[in-house]
């Protein structure tokens, strides 16, 4: 179990030696003492193959691939699919950053970033790696988390794995997965579900359509629904809230945020 930032090993992938020194200094200020710098993704992957337990922090544009390519390669291998990842970039276009959001990143930091922003991303990393996390006795008293049936709905397999790991760390033990709202409806028609965790933007049927169906047509119309999404449109999110979602959090998210939302949902249900 990792208890503090000093327990983290960081692999920093940054082609600029000046930027690498700046980022390393900021990490040191946060208490991170083990930082290895790599100019290229290839060099980092060579090291990661022998020492797979590390937080990877990467720039977006690298000499041999992009940060998007890097995190997708991490997620594609069983050996590194759960490696925590933080992107640092001055890029602001949603279409560029969305693949990173969908990959299950622990944070996306702007360039330049503040100490507070870095601290938030590092805390999210510790929470993600903490497989001894707890919902607390107050929640444990009202819900048997090991038997809770959770349906995760997201067209990104990486996002589903990330959410599942966070929930597993909290003690939840039973999961069913769907890639879109249509698949989720078929599951809900046949199986009792205690909690739905869904994305917004998905093919076939999006999260709004799924919530509408659950609240108006499903025999499980009162099931709690958490939305974890990279959607930024305020109007769409307001419509989701109106439709009856139990809670909404961003991608990337802090695991403690999901924990707080889940605790609130379970307490209200009981």
Give the CATH fold of the 137-269 domain.
Rossmann fold (3.40.50)
Lowest mean pLDDT among 76-80, 151-155, 232-236: 232-236
For 58-110, the pLDDT digits (tens) are 999 999 999 999 999 999 999 999 999 999 999 988 889 999 998 989 999 99
pLDDT of 142 > 80? The answer is no
Q: Is the pLDDT of residue 133 over 90?
A: no
pLDDT(150) > 90 = yes
Listed by start position, the domains of the chain span 5-129, 137-269
Do residues 121 and 109 lie in contact, with contact meaning Cβ atoms separated by under 8 Å? yes
- The residue ranking higher by pLDDT, 109 or 239, is 109
Predicted confidence band of residue 257 (pLDDT cuts 50, 70, 90): confident
Q: State the average pLDDT over residues 235-252.
A: 86
pLDDT value at position 252? 81
Query: Would the pLDDT of 42 be above 50?
Result: yes
Could you please state the CATH topology (level 3) that the domain comprising 5-129 is classified under. Rossmann fold (3.40.50)
Q: What is the pLDDT of residue 169?
A: 86
Q: What is the pLDDT of residue 95?
A: 87
Q: Which residues pair with 195 in a beta bridge?
A: 150
pLDDT on residue 199? 92
Count the neighbouring beta carbons within 10 Å of the beta carbon of residue 93.
7
- The confidence score (pLDDT) of residue 230 equals 82
Q: Is 204 a residue whose pLDDT tops 80?
A: yes
Q: What was the pLDDT predicted at 135?
A: 55
Residue 268 pLDDT: 67
Please give the Cα distance from 255 to 261 (Å, whole number): 10
Q: What pLDDT score was predicted for residue 27? A: 97
Q: What is the pLDDT of residue 170?
A: 85
CA angle 160, 53, 167 (to 5 degrees): 30
What number is the average pLDDT over the span 133-157? 73
**Three-state DSSP string of 95-143:** HHHHHHHHCCCCEEECCCCCHHHHHHHHHHHHHHHCCCCCCCHHHHCCC
Residue 8's nearest CA partner among 71, 75, 53, 59 is 53
Average pLDDT over residues 13-36: 96
Q: Does this chain's domain 5-129 share its CATH topology with 137-269?
A: yes
Which pLDDT belongs to residue 173? 85
What pLDDT is attached to residue 235? 86
The predicted pLDDT at position 234 comes to: 83
- Write down the pLDDT at residue 120: 93
- Average pLDDT score over the chain: 89
């Amino acid at each position: 179990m990792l208890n503090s930032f000093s327990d983290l090993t960081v692999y920093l992938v940054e082609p600029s030696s000046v930027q690498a020194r700046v980022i390393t200094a900021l990490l040191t200020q946060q208490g991170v003492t083990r930082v290895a710098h790599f100019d290229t993704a290839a060099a980092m992957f060579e090291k990661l193959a022998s020492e797979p337990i590390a937080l990877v922090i990467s720039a977006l544009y690298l000499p041999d691939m992009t940060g998007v390519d890097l995190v997708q390669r991490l997620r594609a291998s069983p050996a590194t699919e759960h490696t925590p990842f933080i992107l640092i970039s001055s890029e602001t276009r949603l279409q560029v950053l969305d693949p990173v959001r969908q990959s299950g990143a622990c944070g996306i930091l702007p360039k330049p970033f503040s100490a507070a922003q870095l601290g938030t991303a590092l805390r999210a990393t510790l929470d993600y790696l903490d497989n001894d996390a707890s919902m607390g006795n107050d929640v444990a008293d009202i819900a048997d988390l090991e038997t809770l049936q959770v349906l995760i709905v997201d067209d990104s397999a990486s996002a589903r794995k990330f959410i599942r790991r966070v929930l597993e760390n909290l003690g939840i033990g039973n999961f069913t997965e769907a890639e879109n709202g249509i698949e989720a409806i078929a599951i809900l028609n046949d199986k009792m579900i205690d909690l739905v965790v869904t994305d917004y933007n998905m093919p076939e049927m999006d999260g709004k359509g799924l919530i509408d169906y659950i609240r108006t047509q499903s025999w499980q119309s009162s099931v709690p629904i958490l939305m974890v999404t990279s959607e930024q449109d305020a109007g769409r999110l307001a419509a989701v809230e109106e439709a009856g979602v139990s809670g909404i959090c961003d991608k990337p998210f802090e695991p403690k945020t999901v924990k707080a939302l889940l605790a609130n949902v379970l307490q209200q249900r009981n």
